[in-house]
Amino acid sequence: MTNKIRKWDEVHGDTTPDEAMVAFLESANDSYAILQLRSSEETAFERFMSMDYLKRQGKEPDIDHYEVVYTAPLLPYKDINTMLEETYVKFNMEHPADFTGHSLSVSDIVALKQNGVVSCHYVDSIGFKELPNFLRPENYLKYAEMSTEDDYGMIDGVINNGKREEQMEKPSVLEQLKEKTEEPPCIRNSKKPEERGLE
């Protein structure tokens, strides 16, 4: 995971937070990521707030408000709560040399990727709260798009699709089936496999 980010850095320069998220999500290895709120007016009243405070405000942690500030390989552990507490101590007392965020605090998120499954844990006033809906599947595609899309205005669920007005409308499956059934059977069956769309 860290090697993937380093290789990206060697070719493209520093990794942006969105590219770090894509590298974390696409990593084949067990790893973890520290996410902290982006510095903006939109997140000012979420910063360092407990989960209870957010709920009283009718809010929940929103992935669009966060950025990845650190990733590293995930070492084997027996108890997830102990591992999360040790991570909290590490990022408060013994910062890794390449860590550039603030000390791990309330409102930060620790994302764990183990055996291809990602779980996210909100640093709360006391302990951690798991966020089962934080990384919804549509967000994986969004981050993949952000790392490859030519036009950021095209974050729409289709990777690198160019400008919207340039898109050609594809015929529907129903239209394709109608075209096939309108041909007489003798012509349809006499076509070579590649002419029939079979390869």
The tens digit of pLDDT for each residue in 150-163 reads 554 554 545 555 54
CA–CA gap between residue 38 and residue 160 (Å, rounded):
26
Q: In what order do the strands lie in the sheet with 117-123?
A: 66-73, 31-37, 109-114, 117-123, 128-130
Q: Which residue has tokens 């974050």?
A: 155
Q: Which pair of structure tokens corresponds to residue 122?
A: 């909100």
Instruction: Give the tens place of pLDDT for each residue, 93-151.
Output: 999 998 989 999 999 999 999 888 889 999 999 999 999 988 765 555 555 555 555 55
If 0-12 CB within 10 Å is exposed, 13-18 middle and 19+ buried, where does residue 146 land?
middle
Overall average pLDDT of the 165-171 stretch: 53
Q: Which pair of structure tokens corresponds to residue 66?
A: 């966060």
Instruction: Answer whether 110's CB lies under 8 Å from 70's CB.
Output: no
CA–CA gap between residue 157 and residue 161 (Å, rounded):
9
**Global confidence as pTM:** 0.63
Q: Pick from 71, 89, 53: which is nearest to 16 by CA?
A: 71
Q: Which pair of structure tokens corresponds to residue 183?
A: 């041909």
